[in-house]
Amino acid sequence: MMLDDWITIGVLAVATAAIRASGPVLVGGRELHPRLFGVVSLLAPALLAALVVTETLFGTDNELVVDERAAGVAAAGVALALRAPVVPVIVIAAGVTALARALA
Amino acid sequence: MRCAPVAATRSATSTTRSSSRRESVRAGFQAGLPFAVAAGLLAISFGVLARPVMGTVAPIVMSAVVFAGSAQFAATAVLGAGGGAVAAIVAGILLNLRYGPMGIALAPSLRGGTLSRAAHGQAMIDASWAMANLGGGRFDPWFMVGATLPSYPVWVVGTAVGVLGGELIGDPDRLGLDAIFPAFFLALLAEGELRSGRKAIAAACIGAAVALALVPLVPPGVPVIAASVGALLGLSRRNEAKSARGTGE
């Protein structure tokens, strides 16, 4: 239904802007207590690792899928372990995934 | 996008704050270009997917005002399945809630008033946020703005291309583009955070484990937010000092 589309777009736009503003507005602009900063400074590695896991192993339907994409990211992991620079690592990830899909 | 040299330049210039702002935006812009290309292809596939659901205008407007890939895909999928506005909004919001903890991580690096900080938060997209991370809890916010700049117009125009003629381009997944972002985040972890100490490694492991365990159980988006608990390790700094003095329990 068309009205549903526009309601979704409008509410999502406002909500997304509010969520993006929330951290900087609520926490920013002052020095944090050192222990709190200790926690905040570990958010980045925890969130990055979670993004790697969810974007490698799961599709939109919430099911664990070990597919060509997982093979590509695994190849990237091997390249990183061999100290490859970032750009080749990403090219390897996309290349292995594309190759695996072409062969599948 | 040579990651290590870029990071080195940024930390070197971050001491001369005012003069380095333009440098940061420029360096971020350059680092963001490859991701704008990837975002453009993703936007085309969004346009292709969204057209039968929402028509020609709504998907382009959505990309312009929401500007968040995973949430747009999720909300559109719900609408396409006849799920209605409320379910679509909930799905989209859940996926975007990660910008809450991401923004908190960014916050200590932001100067300026409330409005300026709120505006900075709007430049948060995953790749830019990740690239602007200097490690040790510090970010270069202007680098993040620069890195997001090329992605925004490309995201909107790419959606329009997908809506108006995307069938001609075919399936972008064929090119393995969906492996680019997780591989890039993995590279940033390996080259940056995981070298900044055992605590960062432990936080990353907990975050990954929590996300992995929760995905089958909770709606999409929630596992990444829940992974924030890995950061609670930061509380243990004092404990470590204590046990080093032999007073730990």
What does the pLDDT look like over B65-75, one tens digit per residue?
999 988 998 89
Lowest mean pLDDT: which of B3-12, B88-97, B129-138?
B3-12
Place of tokens 């790697």: A52
User: Distance from B12 to chain A by nearest Cα, in Å?
Assistant: 20
Per-residue confidence (pLDDT) for residue A15, from 0 to 100? 98
Mean pLDDT value across residues A23-47: 87
Q: What is the mean pLDDT of residues A12-24?
A: 97
How do residues B177-233 score in pLDDT, each as one tens digit?
788 889 988 988 888 777 778 899 999 999 999 999 998 888 888 888 899 999 898
Which of A58-72, B19-33, B164-178 is the most confident on average? B19-33
* B204–A49 C-beta distance less than 8 A: yes
Average pLDDT over residues B133-137: 88
Q: Do B179 and A93 touch (CB under 8 A)?
A: yes
Confidence of residue A26 (pLDDT cuts 50, 70, 90): very high
A78 CB within 8 Å of a chain B CB: no
Torsion angles phi and psi, residue B16, rounded to 5? -95, 80
In A, minimum Cα distance to B64 occurs at A13
- Report residue B239's pLDDT band, with 50, 70 and 90 as the boundaries: very low
- Split at pLDDT 50, 70, 90, the class of B249 is very low
Q: How many CB pairs under 8 A join A and B?
A: 338
Closest Cα in chain B, distance from residue A61 (Å): 8
Most A CBs within 10 A among B104, B111, B206, hence the mutation to make, goes to: B104
Among A30-39, B30-39, B124-133, which is the least confidently predicted range? Answer: A30-39
Give DSSP secondary structure letters for B192-218. TGGGS-HHHHHHHHHHHHHHHHHTTTS
- Is-contact B109 B140, C-beta < 8 A? yes
- The number of beta carbons lying within 10 Å of the beta carbon of residue B25 is 18
Cβ within 8 Å, pair A47-B110: no
Q: Can you tell me the ipTM of this complex?
A: 0.88
**What is the percent of chain B where pLDDT is above 70?**
85
The 10 Å CB-count burial string (b at 16+, else e) for B176-204 is bbbbbbbbbbbbbbbbbbbebeebbbbbb
Q: What pTM was computed for the model?
A: 0.81
**Whose structure tokens read 């620079």?**
A85
Say whether B189 and A45 touch across the interface (CB within 8 A): yes
Looking at residue A50, its pLDDT comes to 92
Look at residue B105 and tell me whether its pLDDT is greater than 50.
yes
Whether the pLDDT of residue A6 is over 80: the answer is yes
Q: How far is CA B15 from the centre of its chain?
A: 26
* Dihedral sign from CA coordinates of B29, B32, B34, B39: negative
Task: Give residue A60's pLDDT.
Answer: 63
Residues of chain A with Cβ-Cβ distance to B226 below 8 Å are: 50
